[in-house]
Amino acid sequence: MSWGTELWDQFDSLDKHTQWGIDFLERYAKFVKERIEIEQNYAKQLRNLVKKYCPKRSTKDEEPRFTSCIAFFNILNELNDYAGQREVVAEEMAHRVYGELMRYAHDLKTERKMHLQEGRKAQQYLDMCWKQMDNSKKKFERECREAEKAQQSYERLDNDTNATKADVEKAKQQLNLRTHMADENKNEYAAQLQNFNGEQHKHFYIVIPQIYKQLQEMDERRTIKLSECYRGFADSERKVIPIISKCLEGMILAAKSVDERRDSQMVVDSFKSGFEPPGDFPFEDYSQHIYRTISDGTISASKQESGKVDAKTTVGKAKGKLWLFGKKPKGPALEDFSHLPPEQRRKKLQQRIDELNRELQKESDQKEALNKMKDVYEKNPQMGDPGSLQPKLAETMNNIDRLRMEIHKNEAWLSEVEGKTGGRGDRRHSSDINHLVTQGRESPEGSYTDDANQEVRGPPQQHGHHSEFDDEFEDDDPLPAIGHCKAIYPFDGHNEGTLAMKEGEVLYIIEEDKGDGWTRARRQNGEEGYVPTSYIDVTLEKNSKGS
């Protein structure tokens, strides 16, 4: 099947068809270009999405620790790689498909233009041959008519008796002239006709088939090129499928790595304070003032009453220990992490010790390397000056000493925390036993004694083993007032923890006398301390909400 033999008379149709083929090629190239833009925009949006949700890590404390968070960030990394593969698809399409199509379309236009120009030139030459043949034909026809007229004129004069011999002879010469001219035009017409027929046969059987064959080959190459581009379009996507599959498998593995038990344990490790839950509240006996004697009810008290625990003191100290529902410690972070609960402080100190040990190992390795280099320089002076390494060695030694001091200091803090944490259970067990003792005495600082003769008569001291606990979680709110008192005698208050007062001065009562002869009071300006119970006139208020 050939266009030259089957479509010999369809030059204009082939012109339109080849133009349509080039337009279709350019249309497909435009489609590929828009697909490339879609891939590029898709990849860009995916990268922006990953960037938006990726954590901006500034410190190690902000690094993700929970498995669900780590899995999500792994998914973001896989998605970022997936976006990179979309960019690879766009680049492959741009290079292998779109760029090739645009170059081929340009070459195709140039080739088509050349073939069509050759076809038009062949058609123009055939038209010129036809015009020459047609002109010779018309001239021959005209001369034949003139010859016929000359013959008719000669015959008329030859038959006319009145015509002279000269007229007849002239008509005969004219007839011979016209006949001769007709014969010449006939020969010329025959030659032109033979030439035209030869050119026409050459045109329709040689020239035009050759041109149409070239146009057919050009169009078939265009079709093949489209087929290759279609395949390249699909191959650009298929090449990245294995990598995309790995990205999706990475997302699935990230999802499988989520461990709810581990996350729960991390919550415990992150927020565990190391404190024991508060103990039971003791019985608050508000009827003890009923049994006081008017003369010396506040100084002499029975063993049973002295063994009771002051409710207000217990509540005040317990309030600071209820860390789960109480206030968080205030103040800036300290170097020894003493602002943190014991368990968190222990973990922070252990982390710091590990980091310092790593730094110490680096410095030790550097020191060893410098010493080896120094030995090499001493054995081979041409390689370098050993003295040039001395400043660096001195600096490294200073760093090693500094790091060892830091490690020793932090290990001392760690030992202190571990000692407190280990002994807290024993102290709690001892405290629970003391609550069950029926005969004993309690001082304001929470110490017990079974011997009434060992009762402390000095003012209560506000330091002891509770400070290490209450200093960190002590509530900022002042104790509520449970009554008021009026000073009967002046008191200078030189001892630590006491409160000076003048005769007739009115104070707030915040803790009752627990049998040791001292009452805790507070001035209106907030100053607190202990005063002798026998020096004041106490008035308690029931259901008082404090000042």
pLDDT (tens, 9 = 90+) of the chain, 547 residues, equals 788 778 888 888 989 999 999 999 999 999 999 999 999 999 999 999 999 998 776 555 555 578 999 999 999 999 999 999 999 999 999 998 999 999 999 999 999 999 999 989 989 999 999 999 999 999 999 989 988 888 888 888 888 878 788 888 888 888 889 889 989 999 998 999 999 999 888 888 888 889 988 999 999 999 999 999 999 999 999 999 999 999 999 999 999 999 999 989 888 888 887 777 887 888 877 776 665 544 444 444 444 444 444 444 433 443 334 344 444 445 566 777 877 777 777 888 888 899 999 999 999 998 888 888 888 888 888 877 888 888 888 899 899 988 998 898 888 888 887 776 555 544 444 444 334 333 333 333 333 333 433 333 445 544 434 444 444 444 445 678 888 999 998 988 877 888 999 999 999 999 888 877 889 999 888 889 989 898 899 888 765 443 3
- How far is 67 from 264, CA to CA, in rounded Å? 10
Residues 78, 222 share a domain: yes
Please give the DSSP secondary-structure letter assigned to residue 60.
G
- Tally of residues, the chain: 547
Question: Which pLDDT score is estimated for 422?
Answer: 56
| Tokens 């593969």 sit on residue | 85
Q: Which two tokens stand for residue 283?
A: 């019985």
> Which of 229, 263, 297 is the last residue in one of the domains?
263
- Domain identity same for 253 and 154: yes
In angstroms, rounded to a whole number, what is the distance separating the alpha carbons of residues 312 and 298?
Answer: 18
- Residue 518: strand pairing partners: 532
Residue 290 belongs to some domain of the structure: no
Q: Which range of residues forms the domain containing residue 109?
A: 3-263
Total domains in the chain come to 3
Q: Are 120 and 208 in contact (CB under 8 A)?
A: no
Helix (H, G, I), strand (E, B) or coil at 240: coil
Domain boundary among 263, 283, 302: 263
Residues 285, 293: Cα–Cα separation, whole Å: 17
Residue 15 and residue 215 in contact, taking contact as beta carbons nearer than 8 Å: no
Spell out where 375-524 has E strands. 441-442, 448-449, 483-487, 506-511, 518-522
Contact (CB, 8 A) for 78 and 247: yes
> The CATH number of the domain where 416 resides is what?
1.10.287
Residue 387 lies in a domain: yes
Residue 467 domain-assigned (yes or no): no
Which token pair is 161?
A: 């008796």
| Domain assignment of residue 64, yes or no | yes
Of 8, 18, 22, 15, nearest in space to 210 by CA = 8
CATH code at 25?
1.20.1270.60
Tokens for 136, please give them.
């010779």
Inter-residue contact 12 to 5 (CB < 8 Å):
no
Nearest to 357 by CA among 396, 411, 395, 394: 411
Q: Supply the pLDDT for residue 159.
A: 84
In a domain, 314, yes or no: no
Clarify whether residues 413 and 496 are in a common domain.
no
410 and 488 in a single domain? The answer is: no
